[in-house]
Amino acid sequence: MISAASIHFAGKIVRAIQLRFIAGAWGLTLLLLCRPGFGAEFVVGGVDHPWQVSGTTPGGVIDFVERIETVIDGDSPLFGTAQDQSNWIVPVRVDPDVNISLGLLDRGGEIDINLSDEQVDRDQLEGVLSGDHKLAFDRKPVDGRPIQNNGITIFIDLGARFGVNRILFYPRMTPQFPFANEFMRGYELYINDGQPENLFASGQPNFVSPVSRNTDNADTTVVVEIDAQFVRFLQLKSVINAGFEIDEIEIFGTGFVPEASYESHPFALGDESVWGQIRWLEAVAGDPRDSSIEVRARSGSDDSPDAFFREILVGGVRTGLSPNDDQGNPLTQASYERLLRDGRAVIKKTDTDNWGQWQLVSNGQSLSLPAPRRFLQFRIDFFNGTLGSARALAQLAFDFASPPVDGLIAEVHPAEAEISAPTSFTLVAKVVNRGGRAGFTRFDVETPARVTAIHSVSVRNAAGDIVASGEFGAIAAATIPPLRGGDITV
């Protein structure tokens, strides 16, 4: 049964192709492809385009691994793969001896408190995540004057979800700062996994009940151990008025993070290009049913796929959007992220004038992105359902080539047909090739309906003269191509 025709003809200067055929009109859709030879391959994750310099890792929870077999649990490799390939990217696996709090702010996390800006020293507050034992968040009485501490709440966003099993907090206990007796004497500790069902409509976490509560704490260093679970947000609340200070809040965990992303830079390919196949290598840790990878791609005409805007506020009311910062400079990815960290109202949108939308792609498929375009960008999202499951990815490659012609305009007649009734169609495709491109010798037509006959195929040059033609007639269901008619092979 023929439902796709690949038409071959002698290499000539082509202006138009006409195809007359019969097919059952079950919602006829035609896919026209004039295929170039894809001799160019772009590989990310190798020597020329290493992962580390070819993109960014939103949330900062991607590891770059030279050899995947070095990711081990005890002495056993976690990832099973037959691929002898180096340079992998994989979601971070938490080292149980490494404090997750360190680097929290750098990966987009946040710490805040229910006090006004005038009442809090930001350096002190952020110091509880720094590992610097000279700096502490200080709520001790000043000159004997009591401070209202009942209800003081520290809020922490880890910047990503981690498998957490232990949380510590304590005052400074060094010879220079001997404040071991200034620990928090009454507290509640809450956690939230950051999943949509556990957030308010505003996106803020809903802290329901504490995982630890003590109104008569006598421990200088508070250690709260919980069953290992995914955590995104924490809240530490003082529940009595006694003064205290916090030197560090340390967070420890285990397992792979549940979500991680890698977003490539837009790759400039020189000439405007059309797209071929995209492919990559995968390795799996744990049960394959508990992890997945999603790869998306988009193409564009310039090196800036996103447009950035800053909200203009007058008296707290939004009056418009500006593509520039306060100094009149155009917003960039870097300035957008800086304003975002500062809590400013900023917006990122796809530049739809020059870029297509993200498209989900599968391993080994032919890309159907807008073309011809000079730039391509991809994004990889990792999802892990358990602490012990994950996937790794290596050597993402895609094929590209200069288009064989400048353009192709096609029409089919009739535009409408009776469903399930055999119908004669005439397809005419006009080739636009003012740039002197190489042209093509193969033309593909695909339809979901069975083609029962091909009346004729004709190819014309720029002057309108027929330079190749063929007639075929009825095609039996058991017919196996190729078929030849005149100058044309189907």
Residue 313 in tokens:
């506020």
- CA gap 199, 213 in Å, rounded: 22
Position 405 scores a pLDDT of 75
Q: Looking at residue 28, what is its pLDDT?
A: 45
pLDDT (tens digit per residue) in 320-335? 888 888 888 888 878 8
List, for residues 127-145, the tens digit of each pLDDT value: 999 999 999 999 998 777 7
pLDDT band at 3 (very low <50, low <70, confident <90, very high): very low
User: 299 and 376 in contact (C-beta within 8 Å)?
Assistant: yes
Average pLDDT value for residue range 384-395 = 96
Which option is the CATH number for 110-253: 3.40.640.10, 3.30.70.1150, 3.40.50.1000, 2.60.120.260? 2.60.120.260
Average pLDDT over residues 400-426: 81
- Residue 268, both tokens: 């400039």
Residue 4 has pLDDT above 50, yes or no: no
What pLDDT score was predicted for residue 9?
Answer: 47
What average pLDDT does the structure give for the chain?
A: 87
Confidence of residue 217 (pLDDT cuts 50, 70, 90): very high
What per-residue confidence (pLDDT) applies to 22?
59
pLDDT of 1 > 70? The answer is no
Q: Measuring CA to CA, how many Å separate 166 from each of 60, 154, 184, 234?
A: 21, 17, 18, 12
Whole-number pLDDT of residue 26:
44
Q: What is the pLDDT of residues 196-205, one digit of tens each?
A: 999 998 889 9
| Residue 99 predicted with pLDDT over 80 | yes
Residue 378 backbone dihedrals phi, psi, to 5 degrees? -130, 160
Burial class (CB in 10 A: 0-12, 13-18, 19+), 51: buried
Q: Is residue 246 very low, low, confident or very high in pLDDT (cuts 50, 70, 90)?
A: very high
Listed by start position, the domains of the chain span: 4-35+404-489, 42-94+259-295+371-399, 110-253
Instruction: List Cα–Cα distances, 185 to 142, 218, 244, 246, 250, in angstroms.
Output: 18, 7, 8, 12, 18
Query: Which residue has better confidence, 436 or 119?
Result: 119
Strand order in the sheet with 317-322: 317-322, 306-314, 346-350
188 pLDDT band, cuts 50/70/90, is very high
> Tell me, what's the pLDDT at 17?
60
What is the 3-class SS of the chain, one letter each residue? CCCEEEEECCCCCCCEEEEEEEEECCCCCCEEECCCCCCEEEEECCCCCCHHHHEECCCCCEEEEEEHHHCEECCEECEECCCCCEEEEEECEECCCCCCCCCCCCCCCEEEECCCHHHCCHHHHHHCCCCCCCCCEEECCECCECCCCCCCEEEEEEEEEEEEEEEEEECCECCCCECCCCCCCCEEEEEECCCHHHECCCCCECCCCCCEEECCCCCCCEEEEEEEEEEEEEEEEECCCCCEEECEEEEEECEECCEEEEEECCEEEEEEEEEEEEEEEEEEECCHHHEEEEEEEEEECCCCCEEEEEEEEECCEEEEEECECCCCCECCHHHHHHHHHCCCCEEEEECCCCECCCEEECCCCECCCCCCEEEEEEEEEEEECCCCCEEEEEEEEEEEECCCCCEEEEEEECCCCCCCCEEEEEEEEEEECCCCCCCCCEEEEECCCCEEEEEEEEEECCCCCEEEEEEEEECCCCCCCCCEECCEEC
Q: Express each pLDDT in 418-455 by its tens digit.
A: 877 888 888 888 888 777 776 776 777 777 777 788 88
**pLDDT exceeding 70 applies to what percent of the chain?**
89
Q: How far apart are CA 408 and CA 33, in angstroms?
A: 9
- Is pLDDT of 116 > 70? yes
pLDDT digits over 29-88, tens only?
Answer: 444 445 555 568 999 998 999 999 999 998 889 999 999 999 988 888 999 776 777 899
The encoded tokens of residue 374 equal: 């000079």
CA distance 277 to 353: 25
pLDDT above 60 for 12: no
What's the pTM value of the predicted model, to 2 decimals? 0.75
Under the banding of pLDDT at 50, 70 and 90, the label for residue 90 is very high
Give the pLDDT score at 24. 56
